[in-house]
Structure 1
Amino acid sequence: MFLTKNYYGLGTEINLSLQSISEDQDTIFLDETYRLIEKYEDLLTVNRTNSEIMSINRNAGKSFVSVSEITYSILKKSYEASLKNEGFNFTIGPLVKLWKIGFDGANLPRPEQIGAKLDLIDPEQVVFNDKKRAVKLQLTGMEIDLGAIAKGYIADAVKNFWQRSGILSGIINLGGNILLVGSSRHGHGRWQIGVQDPFKIKNLPLGILTDLRDCSVVTSGIYERYLKLNGMFYHHMFDSKTGYPIKNDLSSVTIVSKKSIDADLWSTIAFYNGSKKGLALVEKNPNIGAVFVKNDAGILLSSNLENKFKLLDQQFHLNI
């Protein structure tokens, strides 16, 4: 049987499931897994007063801050991805804090407030000292935000821990970052994962990804966190060039990849670039699969997922 435990962390509900041998021992193991997640959150969060990332942010424009190997590793990965200018930007923190979408005090900032923050969003103003494992933000007011990559990084760390511990089958779900460990008990060892309908209630799938094995599935969508104000809708994924929520033809993007950190990055990149350009970028990488759900209920699939997707809701249509 499968043993499942629910926790709260990373600002969301966490579900951990594994093929159980001894319920008592497995319960202890899952609690140990949760403590590992808490350890990573303590280092990487920007939603608390104290963390290694917050120490860097507080010292923006002042000094270098030495950090742990864990934090330094994810910052270097985030920096390299941000420099590609494909839609992911880990210095977007000032915008996130200004809008506060998904948090208390969510608001529509004035144009001049947004303009002032745009000057602070520049990954080239982040400096690294590899010998001292230290990081400095060059401009006062700069802020790193790892919300678009941290859960993927942590999910991969959890999977590594499970594999070292001999877990043969399980599911790590960090609030939408799903990582499949080993083989499923059903379907000849293959997993099936639902793709959320972005226009309806949570956990109602529009279709199912099938024939999956030992991979990560991550979705970015406009339905996750948003603000409705004066008849207008503002979601939480921002365009670092305009300072406003990204505007294009997409409601969500679901990415399938080996590592969850790659799925995190690509869900942001693919969403930012819209269905046409986003699909073209995905197709250049054979290790990435994507399901694009458009605002008009059309669905685009990367070629490597065309035989792994089953449509359930006929209100949607496949654009082939």
Structure 2
Amino acid sequence: MSRLQKSYYGLGTLINLTLFGNPYHQELDKTNELIKYYEDLFTVNRAQSEVMQINHAAGNYPVVVSDATYNLIKKAILVSQENFGFNALIGPLVKLWRIGFANAHVPTPEQIQERLQLTNPADCILNDYNSTVFLKRNGMELDLGAIAKGYIADRIQDYWLALGKSAGMIDLGGNLLLMGASPLHANGQWSIGIQDPQAQRGQAIAAVHWGACSAVTSGIYERHFEVQNHSYHHILDPRTGYPHDNELASVTIFSQKSIDGEIETERLFFADGPLTNWAQDRPDIYGAIFVTKNKKIILQKLPRMAVSLLDDQYEIIE
């Protein structure tokens, strides 16, 4: 079986797309065009996009958006209303801290309290009939960064299935979607590395052996900055306005859909570890791996036999 892999840059990261079978370069190029299409709708890192049209109109008028944008925003707002830490209106806080940019800084408590007033999901008014989104207060900003990659990975898989493809790898940087049975192993399983939070990208401390799945990781190592010997990471808690501080270095979710992985990594990170009865009624969510700052690997719902330890400085706990 032949294999074709190409790399692109988009969504603020390096994208790697791999197809097996009898793939053509144009199929991967068209996949990248699909990624660009969705990025043009969802990005908040440019002056113009459908989401930015909504942000520019905050406090003034509702904006009509495409079905894709409307459906993703509706999903994000409904999850935000659960109030566990995920919040699609966290944009004002993200832009205040600027974590990941050269001008990152620690805001004053007064600045944080001011921005927190602009993050209430109840202030985002959705109209299903007209497909409009209205942010009630000036200064409010939608930011779909915590959910968009998962949505896009799922749409890529839809596209590849429509082309008749049976196996492929979608790597959107922190979001990995493995389609079909792996042609790389006789048992059809994929081997998915768990990143060492204290090392450069690509260095794994464990490997998970699983069938077709999405693997989404959120880690404090991805974007952070240091001030007076204190490290501030990019996972902001919309309930406090500060980076959420706990003993976790990363959370990885294995699920059928990548968008569910995005949501559940946040749920478990803000829960500070395993949740009792988490996803017991969700056969489409396969399990979670927590990596702690003191080098423990905690499994939830995943069987121990599916995980291989690659670094003896770490310890696996079920």
Report the TM-score range of the alignment, normalised by the length of the smaller protein: over 0.9
Which of 130, 152, 155 pairs up with 2:153?
155
Letter of the structure 1 residue corresponding to residue 5 of structure 2: T
Give the ranges of 4+ consecutive aligned residues of structure 1 lying more than 2 Å apart after TM superposition: 279-288, 303-307
Correspondence for 1:195: 194
Correspondence for 1:314: 312
Correspondence for 1:168: 166
TM-score of the two chains, using structure 2 as the length reference? 0.96
Identity %: 46
* 8 Å contact from structure 1 (residues 178, 217) kept in 2: yes
* Count of matched residue pairs: 315
* 8 Å contact from structure 1 (residues 297, 315) kept in 2: yes
Give the 3-state SS of the residue equivalent to 1:75 in structure 2. helix
Give the 3-state SS of the residue equivalent to 1:304 in structure 2. coil
RMSD: 1.3
Provide closer, same or farther for how the CA distance between residues 64 and 145 of structure 1 changes in structure 2, counting only shifts above 3 A.
same
**Larger mean Cα displacement after TM superposition, 300-309 or 110-119:** 300-309
1:216-241, CA deviations, whole angstroms, 9 ceiling, x for partnerless residues?
A: 00100001111112211010000101
Counting only pairs closer than 5 Å after superposition, residues 203-222 of structure 1 correspond to structure 2 as 203-210=202-209, 212-222=210-220
Letter of the structure 2 residue corresponding to residue 287 of structure 1: D
Counting only pairs closer than 5 Å after superposition, residues 25-104 of structure 1 correspond to structure 2 as 26-104=24-102
Letter of the structure 1 residue corresponding to residue 148 of structure 2: A
Give the 3-state SS of the residue equivalent to 2:273 in structure 1. helix
1:29-53, CA deviations, whole angstroms, 9 ceiling, x for partnerless residues?
A: 1000000000000000000000000
Distance (whole Å) between structure 2 residues aligned to residue 317 and residue 282 of structure 1: 24
Distance (whole Å) between structure 1 residues aligned to residue 188 and residue 226 of structure 2: 43
Distance (whole Å) between structure 2 residues aligned to residue 48 and residue 317 of structure 1: 43
Give the 3-state SS of the residue equivalent to 2:45 in structure 1. coil
Letter of the structure 2 residue corresponding to residue 11 of structure 1: G
Task: Quote how far apart the aligned CAs of 1:139 are.
Answer: 1.2
Counting only pairs closer than 5 Å after superposition, residues 252-291 of structure 1 correspond to structure 2 as 252-277=250-275, 280-283=277-280, 285-288=282-285, 289-291=287-289
Letter of the structure 1 residue corresponding to residue 208 of structure 2: L
Task: Quote how far apart the aligned CAs of 1:286 are.
Answer: 4.0
Is it true that 1:7 corresponds to 2:8 in the alignment? yes
List gaps (5 residues or longer) in structure 1: none
Give the 3-state SS of the residue equivalent to 1:189 in structure 2. coil
**Larger mean Cα displacement after TM superposition, 225-234 or 88-97:** 225-234
Provide closer, same or farther for how the CA distance between residues 287 and 115 of structure 1 changes in structure 2, counting only shifts above 3 A.
same
* 8 Å contact from structure 1 (residues 93, 142) kept in 2: yes
List gaps (5 residues or longer) in structure 2: none
Task: Quote how far apart the aligned CAs of 1:108 are.
Answer: 1.3
Larger helix percent: 1
Distance (whole Å) between structure 2 residues aligned to residue 206 and residue 282 of structure 1: 25
TM-score of the two chains, using structure 1 as the length reference? 0.95
Letter of the structure 2 residue corresponding to residue 226 of structure 1: H
1:30-77, CA deviations, whole angstroms, 9 ceiling, x for partnerless residues?
A: 000000000000000000000000010111111100000000010111
* 8 Å contact from structure 1 (residues 275, 294) kept in 2: no
Distance (whole Å) between structure 1 residues aligned to residue 281 and residue 86 of structure 2: 17
